[in-house]
Amino acid sequence: MTSTVVSPEEFAAGMERHYVAGADDARKVTVGLQPESRFADIYAEFAHLYTHEQLEALGEARAAATDPVERDRLNRLWFEAADAVAAGDVVQAAQDLMNERLAWRADFDGEPQSLNALLALISSEPDFERRAAIYELVCQADEEFAERDVELNARSQELRTLVFGLDGEIAIANARMGIDVQRFSDQINAVSERTAAHYAEQADRLFPELLGRDEQHPSRAHAGYLRSLHQWDHVFTRERMAEVCERTLDELGFPLDRIPTILPDLEDRPDKDPRACVIPVRVPEEVHLIVRPTGGLTDYGAFLHEAGHALHFGLTSDQLPFEHRYVAPDNALTEIYSYVVERITHEPLWHQRHFGLSREDAELVVAQNSFIDASLFRRYGAKLAYELEFWADPRDPRNPQRYADRLSAATRMTYPTSQFASDMDAGLYAADYLRAWRTSEQVIAWLRGEHGEEWFCNGKAADFLRELFVQGSVPSNEDVSRQIGSSADDFDDLIAHLSA
C-alpha cells in the first residue's frame, strides 16, 4: 500500500469520516442491535491516513503554527493521530477480544446469558444469594479474559510509548490532559481521607439497612442493587422515568422536544449494555442518549447524567472545526455537565415537586443517594490510584491483589481480585470523572449562589450552561472552574458535598 501525506485539513476530514463510521458501529453494538463490533475493519478502511509520515507532517505543522488557536487545533489533531497510528498493530486483537466478550455466555436459570444480560439482571435482582451467584459468573468471565486484557494493555502501552515519544500511559495522560495526574490523585486521596470517618459511619448504618441483612462489608456483587435504592421503586417507577426526566430538563431550560439532534434510546433489549452512555455519531447533528432502564432512582440519575452529555454535544456550535467540536483532549469537561444535571436528583425539592414526597422523605432519599455518590467517589479515587500502579507495570503479578485491597478499603465493600484488568476505562478516564466531581460541585455551589435553591427548576441556569455547550470542547475542565472564580486546587465544595 502506498501512502501519501495529506494536509491537516484533509487529514481532519478523513478522521471525522472514520469517527462517524466507528461511532455508528459502536452504537449498534452498545444498544444490542449488532452482535459483533467491526472497529478494526473500519480502521482498516482508513489505515492509509495513519502513517508515521503523516504524524510527522502534523507535528511539523503544529511546530510552525503561530496562532494559538491554530496551534491548539493541530496539537489535538496530533494526539488523535498518534492514538490512531499506535493502534494499528493491536486494533485487530482488541476487536477479537471484544467480540469474544460479547459472544461469551453462561447458564443462569437454565438460559444462556450474555455478560450484558447478567449485569442488567444483577442490579434489579431482589434476592441476595442470586445476586452473589450472578456475580460469580461475571467474575468467571473476567478471569477467563484477564491474561489477554493484560497482554493487550501492555503491548498497547509499549507501542504508544514509541509513537508518542513519552514514557507510558501516565506521561501521555499528563501531556494530553495538561495536569499532573499523580499530584491530582494525591489530592483526591486526601479528600477521601478527610471524609473517611463520615463515610464509615454512614456505611455501618446504611449497608445493613439497604440490603436488609447484617452486612458490614458487602461483596461488590451488591453494588448495582444498592445503588438503585430499590425500596423506593414504587416512587421512582420505570413508567414515569422518561416523562419526569424530560420535564426536569424543560424546567432547567432545555426542552428536549425542541432539540431534535438528541435521540433518546430507552428500549430494553436483551444484549443492550446496561451502562448508560451517550454516543455522539455526528456532532452536533446526531447524538444518541442510551439508557437501559433496570428500575429505580438509578434510571433517573442515569438518564439525567447522559442528558448532560447529550445537551453538550447536541448544542455544540456547528461552526466549530472537527478538533473543537468532535474531539477533546479528555472527558473531564463534558463530565462536569453530566454531573451537574444528574445532581438534580440530590435536590430534596426535586423529589417533592415531581414525586409528591414529604420534605422528610425527600431528605431521606437524598441522604441515601448522597451515600451512594460518596461510595462511587471513593471507588473512583481508589481506581485512579490503582490504575497509576497498574500502568507503571501492567504485567506486575501484584496488580490483582492491589486492586482488591485498594477498592475494598476505600468503599468498605469486598472486591474480588478477578476484575483487576476489566474494571478499567481507557485513557485514565477515572481522572476525568474525579476532575468533574470537583468542578461540578463548584459549579452547583455557584449556581445556587447566583440563582437560589431553585437553580435547577427556574430556568435561570440555562444561559450559563448554553454558553458553555456552544463552545464544544474548547474550554478545559479547569477553565470552567476559573471562570466562576474557583480553582483546580479548591476541593471545599466537594468535601462539603461528601460530608453532607
> Closer CB to Zn ion, residue 75 or residue 338?
338
- Residue 290, burial from CB neighbour count under 10 angstroms (0-12, 13-18, 19+): buried
Contact between 439 and Zn ion by CB under 5 A: the answer reads no
Query: Of 207 and 380, which has the nearer Cβ to Zn ion?
Result: 380
Alpha-carbon distances, residue 415 vs 110, 217, 348 (angstroms): 27, 10, 32
- Provide the minimum distance between the beta carbon of 399 and Zn ion in the complex, in angstroms, as a whole number: 26
Rounded to a whole number of angstroms, the minimum distance from the CB of residue 266 to Zn ion is 17
Does 477 bind Zn ion (CB under 5 A)? Our answer is: no
Question: Interacting stretch for Zn ion, rule CB under 5 A, among 103-111, 217-225, 338-346, 382-390?
Answer: 338-346
Shorter beta-carbon distance to Zn ion: residue 137 or 290? 290
Q: Which is nearer to Zn ion, 91 or 245 (CB)?
A: 245
Interface region with Zn ion, contact rule CB under 5 A, candidates 1-9, 135-143, 332-340, 356-364 = 332-340
Q: Smallest distance from the beta carbon of 268 to Zn ion, in angstroms?
A: 21
Between residues 211 and 266, which has the closer beta carbon with respect to Zn ion?
266
Considering beta carbons, is residue 171 or 266 the nearer one to Zn ion?
266
Span near Zn ion by CB under 5 A; candidates 122-130, 169-177, 236-244, 331-339: 331-339
Please choose, out of 64-72, 78-86, 128-136, 335-343, the segment that lies near Zn ion by the rule CB under 5 A.
335-343
Q: Which stretch binds Zn ion (CB under 5 A): 177-185, 337-345, 468-476, 483-491?
A: 337-345
Tell me the residue nearest to Zn ion as measured from the CB.
338
Q: Site residues for Zn ion, window 58-117 (CB under 5 A)?
A: none
Contact 295, 124 (CB under 8 A): yes
Q: How many whole angstroms separate alpha carbon 207 and alpha carbon 314?
A: 39
CB of 398 to Zn ion, least distance (A): 31
Which lies closer to Zn ion via its Cβ, residue 294 or residue 338?
Answer: 338
HSE-CB of 171 using CA atoms within 13 angstroms = 12
Our CB check for Zn ion shows the closer of 371 and 429 to be 429
311: alpha, beta or left, given left = phi > 0 and alpha = psi -120 to 50? alpha
Nearer to Zn ion, 62 or 343 (CB): 343
With vertex at residue 237, the alpha carbon angle to CA 232 and CA 240, rounded to the nearest 5 degrees, is 140
Closest separation in Å from C-beta 305 to Zn ion: 6
Residues 280 and 294: their CA atoms lie apart, in Å, by 23
Instruction: Output 125 or 335, the one with its CB closest to Zn ion.
Output: 335
Q: Which stretch binds Zn ion (CB under 5 A): 100-108, 241-249, 334-342, 482-490?
A: 334-342
What number of chain residues touch Zn ion (CB under 5 A)? 1
The region of 65-73, 180-188, 200-208, 333-341 touching Zn ion under the rule CB under 5 A is: 333-341
Question: C-alpha grid cell for residue 365?
Answer: 432519599
Going by C-alpha positions, the residue among 150, 121, 145 that lies closest to residue 221 is 121
Interface region with Zn ion, contact rule CB under 5 A, candidates 166-174, 219-227, 253-261, 336-344: 336-344
Site string for Zn ion, 410-429 (x = CB under 5 A): --------------------
338 binds Zn ion (CB under 5 A): yes
Find the shortest distance in angstroms from Cβ 332 to Zn ion: 10
Residues 167 and 393: beta-carbon distance below 8 Å: no
Q: What is the smallest separation between the CB atom of 269 and Zn ion, expressed in angstroms?
A: 21
* Nearest CB to Zn ion, comparing residues 208 and 475: 475
How many beta carbons lie within 10 A of that of residue 302, not counting itself?
26
- Least Cβ distance, residue 186 to Zn ion (angstroms): 24
Residue 40 beta carbon to Zn ion: minimum distance, rounded to whole angstroms:
26
Q: Residues in the site for Zn ion, rule: CB under 5 A? A: 338
